[in-house]
């Protein structure tokens, strides 16, 4: 089970010899957390431009593979089904290296 990313825990895990990548890698929770936050922001933007009756409708779960490991992603949904995520599209199960780099660079910008 992937927990939320904590920088202090990540540093301790690296110091104890835990792998940086892989299913139990240190970066996997970070990629998951940032991807889910970006998808939520996409839905918010979509709902702002939609009719008033459309609203959030929970999440769909899917397993996504990335260069840092596989994880379960909670993708937000809308009532009308008109939301089409741009970061991780419907039926997409693999993150490209480019998406991984974008997500990590967003984190780096926030940490500096």
Determine the Cα angle at 38 with ends 107 and 95, to 5°: 80
Q: Total domain count for the chain?
A: 1
**Does 79 reside within a domain?**
yes
74 pLDDT exceeds 50? yes
Q: What Rg, from alpha-carbon coordinates, does the chain have?
A: 15
**Does 2 reside within a domain?**
no
Mean pLDDT across 90-96: 88
**Does 46 reside within a domain?**
yes
Bridge partners, 72 (sequence order): 63
Residue 11 lies in domain: 7-111
28 pLDDT exceeds 70? yes
Mean pLDDT across 79-85: 92
Question: Which candidate, 56, 58, 65, places its Cα nearest to that of 32?
Answer: 65
CB of 86 closer than 8 Å to CB of 42: yes
**Does 106 reside within a domain?**
yes
């Amino acid at each position: 089970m992937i927990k939320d990313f904590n920088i202090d825990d990540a540093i301790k895990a690296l110091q104890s010899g835990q792998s940086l990548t892989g299913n139990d890698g240190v970066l996997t929770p970070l990629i998951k957390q940032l991807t889910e936050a970006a998808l939520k922001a996409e839905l918010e933007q979509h709902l702002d431009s939609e009719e008033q009756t459309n609203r959030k409708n929970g999440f769909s779960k899917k397993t996504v593979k990335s260069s840092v490991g596989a994880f379960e992603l909670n993708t937000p949904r809308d009532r009308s089904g008109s939301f089409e995520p741009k970061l991780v599209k419907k039926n997409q199960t693999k993150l490209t290296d480019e998406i991984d780099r974008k997500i990590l660079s967003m984190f780096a910008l926030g940490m500096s």
